[in-house]
């Protein structure tokens, strides 16, 4: 793994898509497991994509519903944009909904 974010201990990759990679991590301040979504570097270089990513995180953080994951933190360290989300250890959100 070639990623380090202050405040998080990254354990392993959970999945990868066109826009981001999701890692299993521990948020040190609260000692909790999180799904850490990190925006692809090529997209983070575009300010409009980076702002959209942060806006998505802020919007999701306002929601409270059983069919969404909780957003614990969003931000960036330099050009590395991230979203720390509720980790679902027993499957995906899709599986939880069904």
Contact 74, 85 (CB under 8 A): no
Q: What count of other Cβ atoms lies within 10 Å of the Cβ of residue 5?
A: 19
Binding residues: 37
- Residue-by-residue DSSP string for 11-43: EEEEEE-SSEEEEEEEETTTTEEEEEEEE-HHH
Cite the annotated binding site for ATP by residue number.
Answer: 37
């Amino acid at each position: 793994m070639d990623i380090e974010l202050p405040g998080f201990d990254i354990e392993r990759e959970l999945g990868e898509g066109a826009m981001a990679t999701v890692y299993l991590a521990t948020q040190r301040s609260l000692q909790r497991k999180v799904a850490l979504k990190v925006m692809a570097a090529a997209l983070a270089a575009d300010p409009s994509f980076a702002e959209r990513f942060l806006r998505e995180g802020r919007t999701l953080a306002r929601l409270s519903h059983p069919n969404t994951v909780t957003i614990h933190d969003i931000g960036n360290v330099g050009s590395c944009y991230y979203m720390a989300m509720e980790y679902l250890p027993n499957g995906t959100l899709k599986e939880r909904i069904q």
